[in-house]
Amino acid sequence: MNNIFFSKIVLITFFYLTVHINFAQPSQFSPAIKVNNVFISKYEVNERRKLLIALGTPKSEARKNAQEHLINETLQKLHSKTIGVTVLPSQLEEVFNSFISVRSLTKSSLNKSLRKFGSSLDELRKYLKANVLMRNIINNTFYSRMTLEDFDFSVFRPSASVSIPTQINISEIVIPFSVRGKENTIKLGERIIKDLLNGKKFEKLAKRFSKAASSKKGGLIGFITLDSLPDPLGEILIKLKSGENSNVIITTDNIMIFKVNSWKTSQKTQNPPNEITYAKLNDDHTKINSCKSISKEKIIGPIKEKKINKNIREALNQLRPSEKISFVDKNGKTSLLILCDRRFILSDSSIRILQGQMLEKRLQKLAEGLNLELKRTAEIIYLK
């Protein structure tokens, strides 16, 4: 009897502790943020976080971005009520179908992809609806204040020179401090730079001094993608033209000198037809640095890229405007090619797409300004 009574006491105590602990744990639906008189739950933040990760946001940034999105959306909903702006079902459906179409997906495949990250089509629709609402608010608030310049792109013709090539062909000289000591190695690097400025070949100096495995090839590394380089090095090399060298780069263990042999624009950028303007000169014009110093009769083009000799075209595709490269034709004759200009020839549909992209950027800037204004007068509290 006593044993039965004792067992009941133990079970009741265990049940009480379990229930007490469960009630003490914070619910996933408990408030996370208060925006004026509206609460955003932890569940909403977590659902948006999972969606953003599914859409490509790094995990380390997803929660903070999710909170920021939901705060902005809450303020936008409150503001939309005061000015009478809503989202029509047809607008949301159009944006949703466009989202699927540009990614070559079906609703089924999109849902499957989202579920891998614990997200759903419903959460995506909420996210897209918030974007449509903001677009409607901006149109309602600012449309009458926009100027013709915000919409008139009839003469829009972008130059390829503003794009950054994605691949770079480089060579290196690497000399460790362990051979001569830090001070003497740096002095040697400075001497090498002077030798390069005086016309000595990078390849010969690399074979003589570099301790990297590439020294056997004259320091040649070859083509690599720009974004595969460490940021500090990429920032140095992006400023160099084809044929130029970096200054001495000092690290903790060695010095490095790089040479940019050539640039290669991504194939995607090359897809639209191009008009090219260039000059082809005798190799003794080495002091010419740009097309501005060349007489007009020696400049070829603008001419459609496909009409240019294949070998010349491939050489020019390694250059950015104002850069030059030595060219050897099939008869062994050497000349100098200088790229003066490269422009895309855009179809009407391409122009309309770019018009939309540029207008979208304009609207985005207006949206950011409105968000800041809404936040300025809002009460935002992060809850524990």
Where exactly are the structural domains of the chain?
31-150+362-382, 161-264, 272-344
Helix (H, G, I), strand (E, B) or coil at 252: coil
Amino acid at the residue 104: S
What is the reported pLDDT for 353? 56
Find the range with the poorest average confidence among 66-80, 260-274, 302-316.
260-274
What is the reported pLDDT for 196? 92
- Residue 5, pLDDT > 70, answer no
User: How far is 157 from 303, CA to CA, in rounded Å?
Assistant: 16
- Residue 149, pLDDT > 50, answer no
Task: Tell me the pLDDT band of 166, cut-offs 50, 70 and 90.
Answer: low
User: How far is 212 from 207, CA to CA, in rounded Å?
Assistant: 9
- Per DSSP, helices labelled H in 104-148 are 107-115, 121-142
Question: Shortest CA distance to 55 belongs to which of 69, 75, 42?
Answer: 69
What is the reported pLDDT for 349? 59
> Number of C-alpha atoms within 13 angstroms, CB side, residue 162?
5
What is the reported pLDDT for 348? 61
Residue 165 in contact with residue 229, Cβ under 8 Å? no
User: How far is 105 from 121, CA to CA, in rounded Å?
Assistant: 13
Which CATH class name applies to 161-264?
alpha beta
How many contiguous H segments (helices) and E segments (strands) does the chain have?
13, 11
Q: What are the Cα distances from residue 57, in Å, to 42, 48, 50, 66?
A: 19, 11, 9, 10
- Residue 160, pLDDT > 50, answer no
What is the reported pLDDT for 362? 65
- Residue 213, pLDDT > 50, answer yes
- Residue 242, pLDDT > 60, answer yes
User: Taking the domain 31-150+362-382, which CATH number applies?
Assistant: 1.10.4030.10
Q: pLDDT, tens digit, for every residue of 328-368? A: 888 888 888 888 887 776 666 555 555 555 556 666 677 77
